[in-house]
């Protein structure tokens, strides 16, 4: 049976959060996103374009450790790269305001829900 394709960001966000249930994994994403963004800005402001591959490594490295070794799933960026990038920043913004645990709880009933916890809001 073919997997149903997600067709909107509003539908993607709960799926994305479901792939980031473990707080440590989310923390790796926050670190990677922050370091990658800082490196990309540094590359753009200094003209040191050789930093761009490092920015990608700094961003994806921690995130992929979180997915492959902590969450035991595949990064959503493989199928939905732009929505995943947007969600990385949205998740970081929620975390910076102290609201990420509440968002995970709203969607899955706990700040660190088990893999089989159902989505609580309709898609």
Q: List pLDDT tens digits, range 24-54.
A: 999 999 999 999 999 999 999 999 999 999 9
pTM: 0.91
Q: List pLDDT tens digits, range 59-79.
A: 999 999 999 999 999 999 999
Please give, one letter per residue, the 3-state secondary structure of 1-22. Answer: CCCCCCCCHHHHHHHHHHCCCC
| CB-based contacts of 105, cutoff 8 Å, min separation 6 | 111
H or E element at residue 117: none
Q: Decide: residue 103, CB within 10 A, 0-12 exposed, 13-18 middle, 19+ buried.
A: middle
CA atoms within 13 A on the CB side of 105: 8
């Amino acid at each position: 049976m073919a997997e149903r394709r997600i067709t909107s960001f509003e539908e993607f966000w709960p799926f994305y959060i479901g792939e980031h249930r473990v707080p440590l994994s989310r923390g790796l994403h926050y670190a990677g996103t922050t370091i990658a963004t800082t490196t990309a800005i540094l590359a753009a402001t200094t003209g040191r374009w050789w930093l761009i591959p490092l920015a990608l490594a700094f961003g994806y490295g921690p995130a992929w450790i979180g997915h492959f070794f902590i969450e035991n799933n595949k990064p959503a960026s493989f199928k939905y790269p732009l929505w995943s990038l947007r969600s990385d920043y949205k998740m970081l913004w929620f975390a910076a305001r102290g609201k990420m645990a509440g968002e995970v709880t709203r969607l899955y009933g706990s700040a660190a829900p088990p893999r089989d916890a159902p989505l609580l809001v309709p898609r």
